[in-house]
Structure 1
Amino acid sequence: MPLPPLPNALWLALLASVIGLVPVLQGCAPAAVVGTAYGASVIHERRPASTVLDDEVIELQAKQRFFQHREIRRASRISITSYNYRVLLTGQADNAEVRKRFADIVSRLPKVEQVYNEVRIGPAISLAQRSRDALITSRAKIAIGGGRGIKDFDATRVKVVTEDGVVYLMGLVTREEAETTTELVRRLPGVVRVVKMFEFI
């Protein structure tokens, strides 16, 4: 059922409520799923407030499905990122069946338009590599918003996800913004590859 039309201010209040629940949900769950950063600035968002809320709900629902399927949880480490109804899955799985099965489950969630299944077959990456990935993500956000690229471009318009040195970039951007952002991130230390998953405006 489509979300009812509400003022942006009310949608943002609802979003804040959802965000407030996330730490509670995460505290009850294993650290197998690495979620995206919640509570990002929505001031310069190009998505409608209702879409931002929908994306947060999609991520929560996908995580719930992950924890509900013990056989998938035990055989994989999967991160879930939703942007504009497109879901990116990253991480590792023990085999192709687990990889495909979880992607199929996510694809059937309400409002999901597309699933990008970037989960790799193999053992989970080390804690050290996860720390390096987190550092790359932080550096990427700083580089994008540091004035070295497009003047007055807000870094919150680009969703950055790093997995084993591979950086995935999502967002609603112009072609110029996409190219400039990609080049900035590509030059960062530790980046193996940059995957552009932008939608153009």
Structure 2
Amino acid sequence: MKLLFTIVAVFSLLQGCAPVIVGGAAAGAVAVADDQRTTGTIIDDQGIELKIGKAINDNAELREQTHINITSFNGVVLLSGEAATAAQRDQAEKLAAAVVKVRRVVNDIVIGPISSLASRSRDSWLTTKVKTQLLGDKDVPGNQIKVLTEAQTVYLMGMVTRSQGDRAGEITRNTSGVKRVVKLFEYVEQPTP
């Protein structure tokens, strides 16, 4: 575990993310311990997010006229947020798809005005509510599910069995304030007892 923390810390420092490591080291270590991805895949996903973020930030039009969230899980990239035009939406997808180790891009960027701080705060609260409910359910590996909310649409990512994915979707759908649920799970075999 100490080696893993050192690798993540060095990688993050090289990418200019020292404050993230200092603030999230303990939580990150717990998340890594419960994650079904390999350590290398977890680091790859973090690198993918950073590289796509840099590519978008290096494009002045995208940097100034869009709000794009980038989430990578096991090489599957989710783009969510808002763009002023379809061309900007498509450009963000092309930039994401060009990054090494990206297996698939799910582009759920909507065309419209950039979301307000109040809207993003509400989305953060919804993420917290959903995550708490997933963690509290004995039939769902809540600590293995990545939850992201954008415009009251909740995205669920992770490696789960079909029954776990169905249950997680049901819990999320029944959470007050959620308008839409998008399951982007990778399904694994049911473990044998």
Report the Cα distance in structure 1 between the residues aligned to 2:105 and 2:4, rounded to whole angstroms. Answer: 25
- The aligned runs of 1:82-97 (5 Å cut-off) are 82-97=72-87
Q: Deviation at 1:182?
A: 0.8
Report the Cα distance in structure 2 between the residues aligned to 1:9 and 1:45, rounded to whole angstroms. Answer: 16
Query: Is the contact between residue 165 and residue 191 of structure 1 (CA under 8 Å) also seen in structure 2?
Result: yes
Query: Is the contact between residue 45 and residue 75 of structure 2 (CA under 8 Å) also seen in structure 1?
Result: yes
Equivalent residue for 1:68?
Answer: 58
TM-score, with structure 1 as normaliser: 0.83
Q: Judging changes above 3 Å, is the alpha-carbon distance between structure 1 residues 162 and 75 closer, same or farther for their aligned structure 2 residues?
A: same
Q: Judging changes above 3 Å, is the alpha-carbon distance between structure 1 residues 94 and 77 closer, same or farther for their aligned structure 2 residues?
A: same
TM-score, with structure 2 as normaliser: 0.86
Identity of aligned residues (%): 36
The code of the aligned residue for 1:176 comes to S
Unaligned runs of 5+ in 2: 21-26, 189-193
The structure carrying a bigger helix percent of its residues is: 2
Q: Judging changes above 3 Å, is the alpha-carbon distance between structure 1 residues 23 and 140 closer, same or farther for their aligned structure 2 residues?
A: farther
Report the Cα distance in structure 2 between the residues aligned to 1:154 and 1:19, rounded to whole angstroms. Answer: 27
Q: Deviation at 1:9?
A: 5.6
Query: Is the contact between residue 182 and residue 196 of structure 1 (CA under 8 Å) also seen in structure 2?
Result: yes
Query: Is the contact between residue 139 and residue 188 of structure 1 (CA under 8 Å) also seen in structure 2?
Result: yes
Q: Deviation at 1:75?
A: 1.6
1:61-82 deviation digits (Å, cap 9, x = unpaired): 1111111111111121100000
Query: Is the contact between residue 172 and residue 199 of structure 1 (CA under 8 Å) also seen in structure 2?
Result: yes
1:22 counterpart = 2:17: yes
Equivalent residue for 1:52?
Answer: 42
Equivalent residue for 1:156?
Answer: 143
Equivalent residue for 1:165?
Answer: 152
Equivalent residue for 1:108?
Answer: 98
Report the Cα distance in structure 2 between the residues aligned to 1:143 and 1:46, rounded to whole angstroms. Answer: 20
The code of the aligned residue for 1:47 comes to R
Q: Judging changes above 3 Å, is the alpha-carbon distance between structure 1 residues 177 and 19 closer, same or farther for their aligned structure 2 residues?
A: farther
CA RMSD of aligned residues (A): 1.8
Query: Is the contact between residue 72 and residue 98 of structure 1 (CA under 8 Å) also seen in structure 2?
Result: yes
Secondary structure of the residue aligned to 2:17 is: helix
- Which of 3, 11, 20 matches 1:10? 3
Report the Cα distance in structure 1 between the residues aligned to 2:46 and 2:112, rounded to whole angstroms. Answer: 28
Secondary structure of the residue aligned to 2:101 is: coil
Q: Deviation at 1:91?
A: 0.2
Q: Deviation at 1:149?
A: 4.4
Q: Judging changes above 3 Å, is the alpha-carbon distance between structure 1 residues 23 and 76 closer, same or farther for their aligned structure 2 residues?
A: farther
Equivalent residue for 1:198?
Answer: 185
